[in-house]
Structure 1
């Protein structure tokens, strides 16, 4: 268990120091984290509503931060190119995220043209019924995306790496709140980029990153 938590700490640290330099991105991650925590609570009451919140607010705000605001040039803090960071990333790098978000966007379009989803779902009527079908698909997509990459890591890395990454993803909302609750305050002061003075250059920079 000691090695498990050490690997988890490394994945979390790499994720922060490599991919969260932008204060806007950090602030969007705070919004994402809070809405994810609400979605976790909703899972026990209304899983479909939880999926709609998680994908409609949490994932869109989180990925918008990465795609539109996070610098993708040379990382002077960690002395690494964007290409290198993308290559060593444990979880979903930008290329994989494009595929995942494309599937997310395609789900309601497919349902709009075939409310039975090729016979896999019972057709519904009305906008509310349509949205609940979309939420059901997004729930399956979220669980499937998490399990697929976890199992994939079992084969391309090892079981511990996969389990650590899955644990990190599931606990990221709570960890992000602790990390980024001050980010909006920094934005109000006009600081767009985190100077990352706390980033320790002596940490093993070859360790793969996550998320």
Structure 2
């Protein structure tokens, strides 16, 4: 348990200091985290709606922060190039995210063209049924993406690394609210980039 918590702490710390310099990105992560918590609650009521909310709001806002607002140049705080950070990223780096998001976009098109998924499911009778099928497909994609990366990390590094990463992903909404709840306030003050003074003190 001690090793797991240590691995989790290192992964969380690296994720913050390497990939969350932009206050806009941090604010979008705050929005994403709040919506993810709502999705967690919806999982017990309507899993399809939970997945629709998680992917359409939580994931899009979170990834928009990374793709459009996070600086991609040389990281002066951590003395690291963007290429180095992408190569060592434990979770989904930009390349892996593009693949995952491409599948996400393709799934509704596939269900529209093949409502029965080639005979695997009962075709939707109306648009609400179609949305339900999309939600379940996206929920399946999320679980598959999580398990696939855990398996990769298990093979490439260790089971502990993969398991800690999975735990990190599942608990990220709680941790992001703790880390970034003041980010919108900093934005209102005109601070677009986190000076990361705490990183300099702990590096």
| TM surpasses 0.5 | yes
**What residue is the counterpart of 1:79 in the other structure?**
79
For residues 140-172 of structure 1, give each alpha carbon's deviation from its aligned partner in whole angstroms, at most 9, with x where no partner exists. Answer: 000000001001111110010010000000000
**What residue is the counterpart of 1:193 in the other structure?**
193
Unpaired runs of at least 5, structure 1:
204-211
Q: Does 1:109 align with 2:109?
A: yes
For residues 32-56 of structure 1, give each alpha carbon's deviation from its aligned partner in whole angstroms, at most 9, with x where no partner exists. Answer: 0000001001111111111111101
Separation (CA, whole Å) in 1 of partners of 2:202 and 2:12: 16
Unpaired runs of at least 5, structure 2:
none
Q: Does 1:134 align with 2:124?
A: no
Q: Say whether the 8 Å CA contact 1:24–1:187 is kept in structure 2.
A: yes
* Greater shift in the superposed pair: 104-113 or 79-88: 104-113
Q: Per-residue deviation at 1:104?
A: 0.4
**What residue is the counterpart of 2:182 in the other structure?**
182
Separation (CA, whole Å) in 2 of partners of 1:103 and 1:161: 25
Residues 32-181 of structure 1: pairs in structure 2 closer than 5 A: 32-181=32-181
Q: Say whether the 8 Å CA contact 1:22–1:192 is kept in structure 2.
A: yes
Separation (CA, whole Å) in 2 of partners of 1:18 and 1:60: 20
Q: Does 1:11 align with 2:8?
A: no
Separation (CA, whole Å) in 1 of partners of 2:67 and 2:129: 32
Q: Say whether the 8 Å CA contact 2:77–2:200 is kept in structure 1.
A: no
Separation (CA, whole Å) in 2 of partners of 1:75 and 1:151: 30
Separation (CA, whole Å) in 2 of partners of 1:202 and 1:130: 50
Q: Per-residue deviation at 1:111?
A: 1.1
Which protein is richer in helix relative to its size?
2
Separation (CA, whole Å) in 2 of partners of 1:119 and 1:65: 38
TM-score of the superposed pair, with normalisation by structure 2: 0.98
Q: How many residues align?
A: 203
Q: Say whether the 8 Å CA contact 1:78–1:201 is kept in structure 2.
A: no
Off by >2 Å, runs of 4+ in structure 1: 200-203
**What residue is the counterpart of 2:22 in the other structure?**
22
